Structure 1
């Protein structure tokens, strides 16, 4: 008796078996293959009717699953290719560092037009602030964000938090502190307060950039005048120091010339003293020096004092 899964190949003319070898598939393997084919067919039908069952999560993304029968699921999908049931939809969220900017320049911020933040200092002065906040979504909390806020979470929670924290922090400082040397410290304080407010919503604040501080017109003019006065004072100090250095240089130069003159005069006086000392010892030394001076010169007549006698031997 031949089983269903046995293949018998016969020659149709002769009614005999073909010389080709007989291939047999085990019964269990046949059952597995038929089952796999049925499952694949069902998956293809569901994919055509309800959408793709294959979901690809890109780099820097996380997928949040929503089941038609159970709502948002807590197990997020990481990077890579995933197979999900047809009744489950996947929403992708970026977990990379993002930047939210509020600026007075129309095309620079998240909102078109003048989106600068106005805040009051502890002096009652109104400052205009351009702010950039760098943040990221915690991948493990993406399902919570999806449930509470949805994909527009930046507008729903980050924007109002930025405005609230900025105004609160600015109210505790003076305009000059925010505008001047303490700007970085103020920005750090803003970052700490924002992170406290947003960490519970699955958002990490990485950095706050206080990019521009616009002062009231009167304060800005006063600061500019003060800076100009400081620059003029610094310039005068520089000129004074330059003149003082020049005066000191001239004094040093004059002292050098005076010292050189004194040294030269002292040397000449000492030379004259030595000459006088030698002349006192040998009065005729001057005649010898005189003759040395005339040596090599074309002299025909020499006039000498009458009391000196003949100083040259005319017979030579």
Structure 2
């Protein structure tokens, strides 16, 4: 019996029960749906090309939509699913090199591909050049749209050639061939990097691997460089000898100062001794006795004018 006003606990709600016999058909339907979707994807892949695209390490994928052209967003590394009407072109965003060399099969172009440039004196020099570069990952779509996969031949090669010739035209053959080669390479790097930056290409390094001069000019430059090295060596030897002479002077001055100081010290000591002897003539006898202490003396000669050295009565 329930008294009015008293609290009565609510009866628990019943959770609907699904018999196992009803769950099995639901799972079966889901499984069939997944299989159907998978089969449809396979059919699309067979009819229209693969819709699964794998982008490797150090790569990005550029999507080309048959209905809208190049899409701005690139595909990163990994597996992607794209519609069948979208094709993907892969580009490397790792560091790459472009080499132009006079050595056969060393560069991108077979045969003699050495860059010929005129110096400020009007001399023709040959240069073997290697440029290290990479593509900006978020600008690869623009490169694909504006230049295509052959971007190296379309933009990198001509830019390198023109930039190298521009820098060499302001330098002497000695600057390009000699110790300033690294400085010249730095200017080349700046020129090429500035020219390619707007195309989404980053230039990391320019290597001037070899410089070929006319034989007569090369011999003259070698002779000048050798003369400069000899002159620098003579300057070094002269400086070394001068430093050695200065060291000897300083050493001699130190010895002289030490001798003078020692002489002054001895003279001062003698002066003090003479003063003390003048005040106390017997002091010399006392010092003489101190000197004899601890020695085994059998016979001792005493000057007759000295009197008694030691007063035995005391």
- TM-score normalised by length of structure 2: 0.68
Q: Which residue of 2 aligns with 1:158?
A: 156
Moved over 6 A (4+): 22-26, 33-36, 104-108, 293-296, 300-303, 308-316
C-alpha displacement of 1:165: 0.2
Q: Which residue of 2 aligns with 1:263?
A: 265
Contact 1:63 1:76 in 2 (8 A): no
Decide which of 53, 61, 64 is 1:63's aligned counterpart: 61
Task: Tell me how far apart the structure 2 counterparts of residues 52 and 300 of structure 1 sit (CA, whole Å).
Answer: 127
295-304 or 211-220, which moves further after superposition?
295-304
1:99 aligns with 2:97: yes
1:120 aligns with 2:118: yes
Q: Where does the alignment leave 5 or more consecutive residues of structure 2 unmatched?
A: 1-19
Q: Deviations over 1:73-103 (max 9, x none)?
A: 2345411333334454321011233333445
C-alpha displacement of 1:239: 1.8
SS in 2 for 1:172: coil
List aligned pairs for 1:184-203, cutoff 5 A.
186-203=184-201
Task: Tell me how far apart the structure 1 counterparts of residues 311 and 38 of structure 2 sit (CA, whole Å).
Answer: 148
266-275 or 87-96, which moves further after superposition?
266-275
Task: Tell me how far apart the structure 1 counterparts of residues 200 and 287 of structure 2 sit (CA, whole Å).
Answer: 113
Decide which of 203, 212, 219 is 1:217's aligned counterpart: 219
Task: Tell me how far apart the structure 2 counterparts of residues 229 and 245 of structure 1 sit (CA, whole Å).
Answer: 24
User: Are the structure 2 counterparts of residues 122 and 298 from structure 1 closer, same or farther at C-alpha, using a change threshold of 3 Å?
Assistant: same
Q: Number of paired residues? A: 285
144-153 or 246-255, which moves further after superposition?
144-153
Task: Tell me how far apart the structure 2 counterparts of residues 270 and 140 of structure 1 sit (CA, whole Å).
Answer: 96
Contact 1:62 1:76 in 2 (8 A): no
Contact 1:76 1:142 in 2 (8 A): no
C-alpha displacement of 1:227: 1.6
Q: Which residue of 2 aligns with 1:242?
A: 244
Contact 1:134 1:206 in 2 (8 A): yes
SS in 2 for 1:78: coil
User: Are the structure 2 counterparts of residues 228 and 25 from structure 1 closer, same or farther at C-alpha, using a change threshold of 3 Å?
Assistant: same
User: Are the structure 2 counterparts of residues 277 and 115 from structure 1 closer, same or farther at C-alpha, using a change threshold of 3 Å?
Assistant: farther
Q: Deviations over 1:129-157 (max 9, x none)?
A: 45443322234443443344332322332
Q: Which residue of 1 aligns with 2:11?
A: none
1:205 aligns with 2:175: no
1:54 aligns with 2:59: no
Contact 2:62 2:70 in 1 (8 A): yes
Largest Rg, 1 or 2? 1
SS in 1 for 2:304: coil
Decide which of 82, 88, 97 is 1:90's aligned counterpart: 88
User: Are the structure 2 counterparts of residues 126 and 251 from structure 1 closer, same or farther at C-alpha, using a change threshold of 3 Å?
Assistant: farther
C-alpha displacement of 1:194: 1.9
C-alpha displacement of 1:223: 1.4
Q: Which residue of 1 aligns with 2:16?
A: none
SS in 1 for 2:91: strand
User: Are the structure 2 counterparts of residues 315 and 226 from structure 1 closer, same or farther at C-alpha, using a change threshold of 3 Å?
Assistant: closer
User: Are the structure 2 counterparts of residues 181 and 301 from structure 1 closer, same or farther at C-alpha, using a change threshold of 3 Å?
Assistant: closer
Decide which of 55, 71, 76 is 1:74's aligned counterpart: 71
SS in 2 for 1:233: helix
User: Are the structure 2 counterparts of residues 290 and 204 from structure 1 closer, same or farther at C-alpha, using a change threshold of 3 Å?
Assistant: closer
1:272 aligns with 2:280: no
CA RMSD of the aligned region, Å? Answer: 4.5
User: Are the structure 2 counterparts of residues 142 and 274 from structure 1 closer, same or farther at C-alpha, using a change threshold of 3 Å?
Assistant: closer
C-alpha displacement of 1:177: 4.7
C-alpha displacement of 1:249: 0.2
User: Are the structure 2 counterparts of residues 262 and 212 from structure 1 closer, same or farther at C-alpha, using a change threshold of 3 Å?
Assistant: farther
- TM-score normalised by length of structure 1: 0.68
